[in-house]
Structures are given as structure tokens and as C-alpha cells.
Amino acid sequence: MAAVLGLQCIRCDARYPADHYAHDCSACRPVARSNLTVVYDESLRRHRSKPTSGSGNGLWRYGDLLPVAEIDGVSLGEGGSRLHRLSHSAERVGIRNLFAKDETRNPTWSFKDRLACMAVSAAKKAGAKVIVSSSSGNAGAAAAAYAAKAGMPCVVFTFKGTAGPMLTQMRGYGAKVVAVEEKPDRWRFMEHTVREFGWFPTSPFFGPVVGSNPFGIEGYKTLAYEVVEQLGWQVPDWCILPVCYGDALLGMWRGFEDMMAFGWTDKMPRMVAAEVYGSVGEALSNGTDTPPDMPKAFDTVAVSIGATQGTYQALDIVRRSKGVAVKVGNDDMMRWQQILASSEGLYVEPASAAGLVAVEQLASTGRLAAADTVVSLLTASGLKDPAATAKLQGELLTVPSDFDKAAGILRASGIFPSDR
């Protein structure tokens, strides 16, 4: 465990005590609402040895760099996800070294397990009584699972229209799930529980959103550590992430910064935000500090990244890394969901496919070079929202019991060879 000194604003560096996790930066609020990050004793970022084969597996392989000790951690075996080389997709987009970090294999099938692990661990250590989350699916499911493991009650505020399987998953873990009429209402109810009841928030709970719990975001640092170790201690040129509020963008960036300080690496990657409505991209274009609330021109299939307004933390990391924000649409996300499943054997939710849409766009314009090493984050399993896929598949082919009649249908459909 790393020694925590407190929290710090990512915009102005103002310091706050460690129990300030349920607030934004009051100094920045009049200009741009900003999230806080964990501050450690300066000894954390001194030169250190790389982990060895005996250092453990998964997220806790890097436990000495996290704000909670493994012995106090609430764990379900998160982290250590596979880094796939996307050989067929690489040929399609003209990028030779294209990889996907497959977070679908985490305990609740999404990258949110890294955040929930750290947040719930911090909550339990602090003596919190109830975990509360506002979520369209993945974050709520992860919070519910880790709360269950910790023996803590969990309440999730969601909204009408959230994918049914994810609601079932949350409730399966024992969470009390409440759907509100309008999306912003969930923050109003959740903020009341935090301020009045002292419940521990793992996700955003007031607007405009600044990001998730700072202790939870530290779990995402391990994504960067793992990617670099899996690439033979080489930093990718680009990291592409589907982005809603930019928690993983910030967490990964902090992980890359750590490794530079440790002497493990000698460069930083460029970060890409694949977003639906273009809020971060608009702020980049205008040179502002506050991503605007964009018009909702269409209903997205990627509900988990469907925010119309981005965050300062997402904008800051893209800007500091000399990265870019890319708008992605429904048709392209569903097309890449199908490509990944049919050519790479990876069935992901539509939001996960947003990263590959961004890769394709950036490669087509020459922004990504053929020799670049590119890593795209696959955030969650396609089984989180199978209805989106099913809508495009058409009717299931059904055949009668009579073999000859069935064979004729199968030949006509191209499944059986036509010359037999």
C-alpha cells in the first residue's frame, strides 16, 4: 500500500484531506468544476524495481502502488486481463501493431471492476455503512458485486431505458435498484444520500459531473501497468478509450506517469477519447476549460458512454497527451462490434467498439501511422446488452424435422453446399 497524504485538484493543485472524496475542487468551481486525485507520499514515485514473476497476479500485482493494502482489499480476482493482438482488424485499418485490452473477462465482465475494487475497499476501510452508485449498467453492477463481497448494502440509482440484463445483474448481486424518470434525477437523489446519510459514493453523484470517486479511479492505474508489462515494458504510441466522464483516461495517465518516475519507461502515450456527442472534442477546438453540454442529436446504442457533456479531467488528459477526441456513431459501433466478434472472437458491448471506430477514423486520415503501436480498451462484454446486437441479426433460421426438406432450406441459405 502507498501512503496517502490527501487529495489534490487536477486543475489547480489545491490540496484537501483524504475524506474530501465526495466533493469537487471548491477553488476551481467558479471557473471549471474539477475532480480530485489521490496524493501519495513522495517516496512512491522514486525509482523502483519492476514486478517479478513472484509478485502476484491481477490488480494486486501492483498493490504497493495503490491506496489500500491488499490485506484490506475487497477482491473478486479483478485485473490481469488479456492483451490481444488484433491481426485481422490490423489488416483492415492498416495498423501493424494493433492490440485490444480485453476487460470483458473481469468478474462482472467490465473494466468498472477495477474502480469498484478500489472504491469499495476504501469504503470498507473507512467504516462506511452503505455503497451508493448512479449508473446505466457497468458501474452499478461492479459496485453491487464488490459491496456484496464486502458484506455492505448497495443502492444503485439508474434511469428508464437502461439495458435489462445489467439491471438484472445489479439486482442479482443484491443491490437495491431505483429507476428515475429523468436521467439527471439520479444525481439529485444520490447526492441526498451522500450528504444526509453519509453513504459512500463510487460514481458521479452531482452535476455538472467531474468524475468518479478518486480512490476508485486509482484502480485504473493498473490498466497502464499491465499494458506496458504485456508489451515487454514498452509504452504504446496511442491508447484509445471509449469515454463518458474520463475516469479511465485519468487513471491510465496516472499509471503511465508513475512508470516514468519509477524508471520503467521513457515516454508517454497519446490518449484518444472516443465519444458519442463530441463534448471533449468541442472544448479542444474552442480552447476552453469546460466541455460544453452538446445537443443530443440521436439516441445512442452505447448508453454507457452516452453523456452529452464531458469532464475537465477527460479534456485535460487528451490535451496534455497531445491526443485527440473522436466522435463515433451507432452504425460504425455496431459494425465494429460485428467485426471484432466475427474476425477476432471478441464479443463486446457497443461502447467497447467505439475505440476501434476511432482507430479506423484516425488511420484513414493518416493521424495513426502504420508502424504505430495502438492499444484500444474493450470495456465490457456484449452480453451486457445483447438486444442491441439481436436487432441487427434478423430472424433465426428454423428448419423442419424432415431431413430432406431441412437440407433443401440449408442449401438455399448457403449453409450446406449446393452441389450435394
Q: Is residue 191 part of a domain?
A: no
Residues above pLDDT 70, as percent of the chain: 99
Q: Report if residue 118 sits inside a domain.
A: no
Residue 38, SS3 per DSSP: strand
Which one, of 211, 257, 278, 229, lies nearest residue 101 by Cα? Answer: 229
Could you give the C-alpha distances from 340 to 99, 109, 200, 306, 373, in angstroms and in order?
A: 12, 17, 37, 21, 18
In a 3-state reduction of DSSP, which class is residue 139?
A: helix
Q: Are 225 and 62 in contact (CB under 8 A)?
A: yes
User: Could you tell me the pTM of the whole model?
Assistant: 0.95
Residue numbers of the domain that contains 296: 83-109+216-390
Looking at residue 207, its pLDDT comes to: 85
Contact 274, 375 (CB under 8 A): no
Res 163: pLDDT: 67
In tens, the pLDDT along 50-80 reads 998 878 889 999 999 999 999 999 999 999 9
In this structure, are residues 140 and 177 in contact, taking their beta carbons and an 8 Å threshold? yes
pLDDT band at 415 (very low <50, low <70, confident <90, very high): very high
Question: Looking at the domain assignment, is residue 296 inside a domain?
Answer: yes
Q: pLDDT tens digits, residue range 360-390? A: 999 999 999 999 999 999 999 999 999 999 9
Q: Over the range 74-109, which residues count as b (16 or more CB within 10 Å of their CB) and which as e?
A: bbbebbbbeebebeebbebbebebbbbbbbbbbbbb
CATH, residue 296: 3.40.50.1100
Q: Which of 10, 1, 246, 220 is nearest to 115 (CA)?
A: 220
Do residues 341 and 231 lie in contact, with contact meaning Cβ atoms separated by under 8 Å?
Answer: no
Confidence of residue 420 (pLDDT cuts 50, 70, 90): low
**Is 176 in contact with 154 (CB distance < 8 Å)?**
yes
Q: What is the DSSP letter of 321?
A: T
Count of domains forming the chain = 1
77 is a domain residue: no
What is the distance in angstroms between the CA of the first residue and the CA of the last residue of the chain?
Answer: 67
Question: Is 203 inside any structural domain?
Answer: no
Is residue 373 one of the residues assigned to a domain? yes
Does a structural domain hold residue 97? yes
